[in-house]
């Protein structure tokens, strides 16, 4: 009999046995990719301190297409309260760049001065920290949604083989995929907890 509070035994099917049915390695990679994307989102978009690097990847719509801000202007930090974007190389995109910064969701209010864009860095208010923490939770929920899609896709793949392999094999595979998804979701919860702590101090 099982002792109280024991974790359910981990299922671990040899990948070689089931490679005709599903590539578990691929499922795992897809799940890890979702976690990596969440980490990337956290570090790029959800930081209390705005650094010049935070503006690098803001996408600017120019008449020649979309470009990251750091390809159009030179971004430098003049003081903790001020970032300067020098648009001398692409003066015609100055207004588009300012608009992209304003609409980046980073709570910035750029001011244009010829081909120079001044970006004052707002003081970090409690309210701003709380709104970032909310965004972190939303991002995590979106990532969990993406994770569920990976899991469903893999489970559906396994179910296609119902007529060819034993029910036990199908059950074990579904269980293993579920375990992988649970592990990935737990990792996301850890990331969210750490991020929330960092944001709310």
Could you read off the pLDDT of 23-56 as tens digits, one per residue?
A: 889 999 999 999 999 998 888 778 766 677 778 8
Instruction: Say yes or no: 114 and 137 in one domain.
Output: no
What is the span of the domain harbouring residue 103?
52-120
Q: Is residue 2 part of a domain?
A: no
2 vs 6: CA distance, rounded Å: 7
Block residue for tokens 């600017």:
60
> What is the domain count for the chain?
2
Query: How does DSSP classify residue 2?
Result: P
Query: How does DSSP classify residue 149?
Result: H
CATH number of the domain within which 34 lies: 1.10.132.20
Q: CB of 177 within 8 A of CB of 25?
A: no
Instruction: Say yes or no: 110 and 145 in one domain.
Output: no
Q: Is the pTM of this model over 0.75?
A: no
Q: Is residue 88 part of a domain?
A: yes
194 vs 201: CA distance, rounded Å: 10
State residue 111 phi and psi, 5-degree precision: -120, 130
Q: For the CA atoms of 84, 85, 89, 94, what is the dihedral angle to 10 degrees?
A: -120
Instruction: Say yes or no: 137 and 196 in one domain.
Output: yes
Q: Is residue 38 part of a domain?
A: yes
Q: What digits encode the pLDDT tens for the residues 102-158? A: 998 777 899 999 999 999 987 778 888 898 899 999 999 999 999 999 999 999 999
Q: What digits encode the pLDDT tens for the residues 150-196? A: 999 999 999 998 898 888 989 999 999 999 999 999 999 999 999 99
CATH number of the domain within which 78 lies: 3.30.1360.40
Instruction: Say yes or no: 114 and 132 in one domain.
Output: no
39 vs 63: CA distance, rounded Å: 32
């Amino acid at each position: 009999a099982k002792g109280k509070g024991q974790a359910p035994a981990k299922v671990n099917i040899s990948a070689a046995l089931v490679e005709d049915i599903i590539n578990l390695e691929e499922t795992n990679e897809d799940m890890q990719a979702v976690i990596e994307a969440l980490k990337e989102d956290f570090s790029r978009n959800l930081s209390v301190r705005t650094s010049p690097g935070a503006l690098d990847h803001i996408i600017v719509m120019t008449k020649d297409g979309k470009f990251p801000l750091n390809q159009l202007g030179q971004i430098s930090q003049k003081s903790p309260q001020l970032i300067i974007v020098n648009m001398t190389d692409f003066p015609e995109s100055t207004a588009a760049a300012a608009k992209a910064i304003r609409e980046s969701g980073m709570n910035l209010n750029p001011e244009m001065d010829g081909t120079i864009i001044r970006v004052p860095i707002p003081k970090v208010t409690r309210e701003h920290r709380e709104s970032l923490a909310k965004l972190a939770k939303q991002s995590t929920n979106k990532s969990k949604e993406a994770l569920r899609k990976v899991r469903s896709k893999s489970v559906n793949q396994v179910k296609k083989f119902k007529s060819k392999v034993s029910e036990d094999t199908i059950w074990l595979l579904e269980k293993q995929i579920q375990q992988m998804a649970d592990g990935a979701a737990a990792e996301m919860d850890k990331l969210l907890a750490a991020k929330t702590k960092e944001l709310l101090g």
